[in-house]
């Protein structure tokens, strides 16, 4: 058994990674990061490396940077490594979840960084590989792991979580109004047959969904989103990752975050807001240095893709972009 098989990923094959991944918000991301990473020796962290599209563009546009790429998906790391191989030792790849950004940097003897990018959500590789089980439109094993070495799968959740736990994750992570009905039907159905394939779950959800609701979109979409988030602990990881990333930025450093759903964007907004707001008491005539905000917001609210980008790259349609620059440290 070779190394890839031991890691639970497909055996090594040569793949044209550029054809698998069209980076979202590429030019805007480069524009926002550029003032912080144009100097020689700048370190940039791509905290969600994926297929390496953003990383390749950054390494090409800024020949003085070193890029640290993080990803929990071992197959993505392998393929991105092939794509970024021409950049040699300017690239450092780490297999880790992005809330471990500070530990990853420490392992590389890096103390602060000039730029950080988060491109959240499920990657193109994960969506396009049917066998990964992320899509409700194709029958596949109920897996949904971003990290194939992790023990928790969607199948395990559907088999072992209680009705109340299933109801909670469908409601909290999928914002699904029919969560009680779906949870009850799943618990009833699993008494006679374990859910192992996505088609089983889709069929049950469709059968349990009123016809009027089905006309507003695929009824399984929110349940699959909720299962994926729970399998990968995406929201709790993100809640830890954004503060850790902010603390890793040097003064003048910048961070860009691309969120694909409201739950992610809400967390990012909640973390950025207090750290980009003055702590000076109301009525104070002069803002003291210690009251100055640590960070400056670089865009108003959450920026969305232009109509042209949405047409060229439909996966940009739901994206919300937020960006900040570090103004000072608290030390």
**Residues in the annotated binding site for S-adenosyl-L-methionine:** 52-54, 71, 98, 119, 126
Whether 321 and 258 have beta carbons less than 8 Å apart is answered as yes
**String of b and e for 49-75 (b: at least 16 CB within 10 Å)?**
bbbbbbbbebbeebeebbbbbbbbbbb
What three-state secondary structure class fits 44? strand
CA distance 100 to 81: 20
Binding residue ranges: 52-54, 71, 98, 119, 126
Phi, psi of 115 (to 5 degrees): -150, 145
Dihedral (CA of 100, 101, 106, 112) sign? negative
Query: DSSP labels for 117-165?
Result: EEE-SS-HHHHH-GGG---SSS--BS---SSTT-S--HHHHHHHS-HHH
CA distance 30 to 38: 10
Whether 223 and 175 have beta carbons less than 8 Å apart is answered as no
What three-state secondary structure class fits 193? coil
CA distance 145 to 8: 11
Please list the residues that pair with 258 across neighbouring strands. 119, 321
CA distance 102 to 97: 11
């Amino acid at each position: 058994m070779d190394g890839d098989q031991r890691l639970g990923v497909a055996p090594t094959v040569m793949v044209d990674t550029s054809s698998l991944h069209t980076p979202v918000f590429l030019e805007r991301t480069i524009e926002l990061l550029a003032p912080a990473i144009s100097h020689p020796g700048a370190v940039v962290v791509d905290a969600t490396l994926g297929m390496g599209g953003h990383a390749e563009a950054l390494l090409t546009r800024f020949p003085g940077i070193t890029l640290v790429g993080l990803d929990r998906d071992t197959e993505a790391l392998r393929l991105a490594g092939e794509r970024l191989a021409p950049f040699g030792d300017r690239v450092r790849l780490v297999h880790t979840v992005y809330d471990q950004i500070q530990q990853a940097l420490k392992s590389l003897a890096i103390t602060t960084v000039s730029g950080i990018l988060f491109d959240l959500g499920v990657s193109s590789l994960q969506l396009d590989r049917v066998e990964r089980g992320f899509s409700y439109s194709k029958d596949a094993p109920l897996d949904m792991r971003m990290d194939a070495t992790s023990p928790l799968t969607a199948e395990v959740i559907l088999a072992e979580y209680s009705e109340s736990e299933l109801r909670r994750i469908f409601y909290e992570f999928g914002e699904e109004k029919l969560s009680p009905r779906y949870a009850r039907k799943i618990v009833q159905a699993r008494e006679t047959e374990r859910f192992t394939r996505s088609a089983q779950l889709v069929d049950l959800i469709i059968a349990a969904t009123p016809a009027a609701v089905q006309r507003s979109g695929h009824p399984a979409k929110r349940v699959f989103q909720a299962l994926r988030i729970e399998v990968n602990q995406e929201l709790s990881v993100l809640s830890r990752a954004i503060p850790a990333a902010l603390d890793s930025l040097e003064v003048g450093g910048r961070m860009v975050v691309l969120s694909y759903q409201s739950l992610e964007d809400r967390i990012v907004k909640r973390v950025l807001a207090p750290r980009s707001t003055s702590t000076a008491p109301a009525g104070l005539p002069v803002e003291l240095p210690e009251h100055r905000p640590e960070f400056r917001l670089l865009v108003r609210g959450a920026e969305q893709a232009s109509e042209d980008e949405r047409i060229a790259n439909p996966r940009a349609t739901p994206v919300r972009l937020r960006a900040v620059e570090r103004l000072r440290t608290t030390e």
